[in-house]
Structure 1
Amino acid sequence: MTPIEFRMIPVADLVDHPQNPRDDLGDPQKLAELANDIADNGNTEALHVFPIKEGPDAGKFLLVAGHRRTAAARLGNVEELYCRLRPDLDSLDKQLETMLRENTHREGITPINEAKAIQAMLECEGMSVKKVAKRIHRSETFIRSRSALVKLPESAKHAIDHGLMTLEQSQVFDDFADDEEATAELTRNAGTKDWAYTVNRLRGIRERAFKTAASEQLVKDLGIKTITSQQAYSSTKYVRDYDREKIPAERITAGQVAVISHTGDLEWYDVKAAGAKKKLTEEEIADKKRLQDISAGLEQAEALWNEFLESKIRDAAGHFDRPEDAPAVLALRKTMFDGYRATHDKAARALGIPLVRGTGVTSSDVESVEAAIGKLKLLQLAYLHAHLHLTRGELHKPSTWDVSGSWEKAALEEFLANRKEVFGYDITAFEQEAIDYWAAKAESGNQDDEEDDEEDYDDDDDA
């Protein structure tokens, strides 16, 4: 057995271990107090050092335990410290083991620092999870979980070490290890108030993707006839079947069709037997043709409006912000997407940003839009904010211009007034034609009701 040797060693001959798990010396005030105590009384607890035999530091001593006490001694200009020589610590794994066991009982070592040291031990020759666990008196599960932390993004490591994220929360990164886009979004939101929302949203996207893929495969394997959700919801021909007990084979035999819903699940519909097709009158044919013409015109009108809006925001780049504008700029950016109308895809179209094709607006789309918004000046932000909160969407649909109801009329008038007042944009001939069409339809309906009432009145007199 090697005899235990203690000696006083000059502080100048003590070399910090390059893989010391503890990279934070703690509270500077407490370190100063420790420095004064060591200067007055010396160090009563011996440092553990390994004699260096080779290399540029030959003849000096590698610190294994006592880095904080050594730092305090340097701060207090102490010349030498009481040390225990540990020639038995002649390999990195032995030194890491000693440092880990030492720091387990002291404040200051963070989960990430501990993880780095454990990973370094695992990488030593002949080491395994089982051996490391035994040597530092930890469970194998603990060793595996700590080792996994090393692979986390730096933002997540920072959040863990500063108490902004729990170790359990960090395990979410494992779930999305194969998804670079999701990992990037998790990294941006690690330790923020949006963490839980981000995790739930990404899990929802992944779950929908899995369900959609499974539904598509089932459709392919069984030859299921499908329709779009728009067909299902806009036609009385299809009737939803909510019976969950039926198996797909029964439904196919019954002639049902399916919709792959936004959640990825299959929705099943009975198909009503087609009745005799009603022959349209000349008046109905003319009305249908006019509605088609109006729809085509509204497509052009919406394209013109979007082009005008994009150029309006682009031209406002010539506006120069003043220092006193900073609060207004910040307020507009923070409230840009408040409210149900203010969506990232709507903003993308106004800014001329192409969306990534796929289901919904992806995190890449969101990142591109918010990055573009971050470069906008005050006037540009004001125009975009007004567009998202005051203007309407789906201007290409004839039904958008239906003012038969008092609420619809008020909402449309408000939109047109806002667009005129804020952007100086007048109603187009295509849009006015759509309004006139619905007004005429409403007037015609009212006249028919009045004629029916008159007929009922005459019948009462005859009686």
Structure 2
Amino acid sequence: MSTTFNELQRTQLAPHPKNVRRDVGNVVELANSITAQGIMQPLVVAPDLTQRPDVPLESIAEFQYTIIAGHRRFAAAELANLDVLPCVIRADLNTEPKQLEAMLVENTQRTDLTITEEAEAYQSLLEFDGYTIKSVAKATGRSQNLVRSRIALTKLSEDAKVKLEERTLNIDQALVLTDFTADEAATKRLLKVADSPNEWAFQLAKEQKAKAWLENLPRLTAELQGAGVEIVDRPEGPAWQWTEWRVSYQTMTVAEAVAGDWSAICDKREPEITWLKKRPAGTTPTVQERTPEQIAEEILQQELTRGLATAAEVRTEFIKNAIQHPAADKTKAMLVDYIIQRHRLDDLAAWLDIALGEGQEEADFAKRDKGVTDAIGKLDLPQLVALMHVDQFEREMYMTDLGGWRSGPGWQSTESWRGRLGTEAEQAALAYHRAEEEATDD
């Protein structure tokens, strides 16, 4: 590495035309600091690649340099009217890819570099001969997976990039959107619900299902035709108007369709096969005349039914993921919600040592309920499990009632405690009722 230190005139320096950071931000405070203290950390500069080759590097006063690290300090120095700046001169950075690589290494260590800026910098390096995902990762000290995923983000729409920088779209969502770069409409639908986790999951499931269907459509069509299934054009009008066809709403395999002599509608309009067959001549049923409103209503019901099926898939996947890969914060939120929804808040208050006043107004009850809810939210996971374990708090009032220890239908108030609490008094109560039952049987 060829490195020297020198103080250079501000007029000898220029921001790099491909600076990784597009915006240096507000530098007023930094300019004030430079005015009072000077520049505490030197800039890192390299030879200007547009410099005339006949100007020797030793001619410091005439040589021009481009900034590799310190664009904010340079902007602040301009604001502070500072003429001379301390600089570390990297003569070895004498090609554009070397300079980009050095800027990228410098800036990826900074927390204010945006994800899209980082992604575009990796992509810029890849455009030079000899650079690969592997070499970029090695040069910048990042993993190949991270570099690969960042580069994928360069394919995002401008709207998606803006939302990513504004943090209204997270990195996981952005990576998902890279699968839909060829589908502008799907991207817009997903961006619209990006700030709502439930809506995002539901819309994503719909888009992925539709995308998979379209990608699989040529293969599926070829498979059906190869097996001897006739592919039928979709008739005009809603399904109930297909009086010449009998439609099956049962799912079936290709083999079952061939055996039953079913034809198939397999197109882009709906992400599923519609099985149907011609009705025998003279058996066409009479279809009741429907108004446009009735037709619209039935179409809506079909769409809602498909939506509910997708929602059920999303919900099932969410529950499976919550069970198999639990996250502490989500687990706690679920426990808190379960406890609050299952029990009356005034029943919970006693277990949390929250006193209940008498003759309170409605506003006082609301305040008390909030106090109980807040107290539950402060419990840790073991405490929440213990609170949840008491199945129904109203049963506790019967624990001091001898009749509450009677077994059988209608006497379940102490059922969950039997066999767990082995005090002499409880065992005596159970024995008392057993003796009564035996006497009755006799």
| TM-score, scaled relative to structure 1 | 0.50
- Answer yes or no: is the 8 Å Cα contact 1:35–1:75 preserved in 2: yes
Aligned equivalent of 1:221, options 226, 238, 252: 226
Distance 2:205 2:224 in 1: 28
SS of residue paired to 1:252: helix
Distance 1:64 1:52 in 2: 10
Q: How does 1:345-424 map to 2 (within 5 A)?
A: none
- Answer yes or no: is the 8 Å Cα contact 2:16–2:68 preserved in 1: yes
Aligned equivalent of 1:60, options 64, 76, 80: 64
Q: How does 1:134-283 map to 2 (within 5 A)?
A: 134-177=138-181, 179=182, 182-187=183-188, 190=191, 193=194, 196=200, 199-210=204-215, 213=218, 216-224=221-229, 242=250, 248-249=254-255, 251-255=257-261, 263-266=270-273
Distance 1:20 1:238 in 2: 66
SS of residue paired to 2:77: helix
Deviations 1:327-362 (A, max 9, x none): xxxxxxxxxxxx97999xxxxxxxxxxxxxxxxxxx
Gaps of 5+ in 2: 56-61, 301-442
Q: Which residue of 1 aligns with 2:23?
A: 24
Letter of the aligned partner of 1:252 in structure 2? V
Gaps of 5+ in 1: 279-287, 303-338, 344-463
Q: CA RMSD in A?
A: 4.5
Q: Which residue of 1 aligns with 2:435?
A: none
Aligned equivalent of 2:86, options 82, 87, 98: 82
| Residues 1:40 and 2:39 aligned together | no
Deviations 1:32-68 (A, max 9, x none): 2211111111112111112347547962221111110
Distance 1:145 1:209 in 2: 25
Measured at CA, do residues 215 and 151 of structure 1 come closer, stay the same or move farther in structure 2, by a change above 3 Å?
Answer: closer
Distance 1:236 1:128 in 2: 60
Q: Which residue of 2 aligns with 1:132?
A: 136
Measured at CA, do residues 220 and 141 of structure 1 come closer, stay the same or move farther in structure 2, by a change above 3 Å?
Answer: same
Measured at CA, do residues 258 and 9 of structure 1 come closer, stay the same or move farther in structure 2, by a change above 3 Å?
Answer: closer
Distance 1:11 1:174 in 2: 42
How many Å apart are 1:12 and its aligned residue? 2.4
How many Å apart are 1:93 and its aligned residue? 1.9
Letter of the aligned partner of 2:21 in structure 1? R
The number of equivalent residue pairs is 281
Identity of aligned residues (%): 30
SS of residue paired to 1:150: helix
Aligned equivalent of 1:70, options 64, 74, 92: 74
- Answer yes or no: is the 8 Å Cα contact 1:211–1:263 preserved in 2: no
Measured at CA, do residues 41 and 163 of structure 1 come closer, stay the same or move farther in structure 2, by a change above 3 Å?
Answer: same
How many Å apart are 1:169 and its aligned residue? 2.0
Deviations 1:428-448 (A, max 9, x none): xxxxxxxxxxxxxxxxxxxxx
Letter of the aligned partner of 2:222 in structure 1? Q
Distance 1:198 1:277 in 2: 39
